[in-house]
Amino acid sequence: LAQSATYTVLPSVLLTGPSGAGKTTLHTLFERRTTPSETHTSQTPSSTELAVNESRTSSYREDLDATGATAARFLMIDTPGHGKLRHFAYERLGAEGIQGVKLKAVVFVVDAAAISEPEVLADTAAYLYDILLRLQKRVASAKSGKAPYAIPVLVAANKTDLFMALPGKLVKSNLEKELGRIRKTRSKGLMDSGVGADDLGGGADEGDDWLGEYGSEEFKFEQLREFDIDVAVEAGAVLGDKPRVDKWWTWIGEKL
């Protein structure tokens, strides 16, 4: 008790992504280290304290407390992916600085076995668009002043144990195409009204909801570098013969 009263601020990692992608399954795997538990669709966020060793080389399977290895602790925050419950994740993105929260990275889990279905791709990309746009605005709105620290994003292409899963490369290109389509659709209202970008008075409003390089034809994740946002796409699987989540764990460890 005395120890928990020291109010140390733990760096946190936000787990987001559409419903059913496997966030909670992944969360319980990291928490339990060997096998994930069965899950139900999440309705509230939940946090787990996890740790990597000082050099960020330890596996999620290692119990660092038991081995006595000095560890870097962090909080993993699992959020619900249902369309009506995404405010929980948005709040976390905006909570930086409040209650001493230090958000270090965002892991966006997608279902690679379902993403070739148009509705799944549309829903997944719409959610990702909103997450990335929030991160972009966080940087863009601070342009004049001191730039905030960078928050990188990992798109974890999950369920690649299933035969119908798309490989990471295709998950990436499909998402980029769909994000580009969303970008066009969202800016269309403005263009149809006959208001050109030049007429908008420029300044902070210019392309406010435009993700990535302003006015570009195609969307690429690389365009977010301009806003100091690194997006990586890595395939893996929480279930299957054995979990393949080490790349995700390593990515997280490097961002802490």
Q: Which of 12, 16, 24, 160 binds Mg ion (CB under 5 A)?
A: 24
Asked if 97 interacts with ligand GTP (CB under 6 A), we say no
What are the C-alpha distances in Å from 104 to residues 12, 14, 91, 150, 213?
6, 8, 15, 8, 24
Under the criterion CB under 6 A, does residue 21 sit at the interface with ligand GTP?
A: yes
Nearby residues of 166 by Cβ (< 8 Å), 6 or more positions away: 112, 113, 115, 116, 157, 174
| Nearer CB in complex with ligand GTP: 86/255 | 86
Q: Which of 120, 162, 190, 197 binds ligand GTP (CB under 6 A)?
A: 162
Q: Which of 134, 239, 247, 251 binds ligand GTP (CB under 6 A)?
A: 239
The torsion of the CA quartet 101, 102, 105, 111, rounded to 10 degrees, works out to -10
Find which of ligand GTP, Mg ion, none residue 253 binds, CB within 5 to 8 Å per kind: none
126 lies in the binding site for ligand GTP (CB under 6 A): no
What's the closest the beta carbon of residue 165 comes to ligand GTP, in angstroms?
8
Question: How many CB atoms sit inside 10 A of residue 15's CB?
Answer: 28
Report the residue number, 104 or 159, with the smaller CB distance to ligand GTP: 159
The correct pick among 28, 42, 187, 223 for binding Mg ion (CB under 5 A) is 42
Residues in a beta bridge with 244: 237
SS (H, E, C) 109-177: EEECCCCCCHHHHHHHHHHHHHHHHHHHHHHHCCCCCCCCCCCCEEEEEECCCCCCCCCHHHHHHHHHH
Examine residue 168 and tell whether it contacts ligand GTP (CB under 6 A).
Answer: no
Looking at residue 108, its amino acid is F
Q: Using the rule CB under 5 A, give the single segment among 10-18, 19-27, 129-137, 202-210 that binds Mg ion.
A: 19-27
Nearer to ligand GTP, 75 or 112 (CB): 112
Segment near ligand GTP (CB under 6 A); pick from 17-25, 125-133, 186-194, 202-210:
17-25
Contact residues for Mg ion, defined by CB under 5 A: 23-24, 42
Contact residues for ligand GTP, defined by CB under 6 A: 17, 19-25, 39, 41-42, 80-82, 109, 158-159, 161-162, 237-240
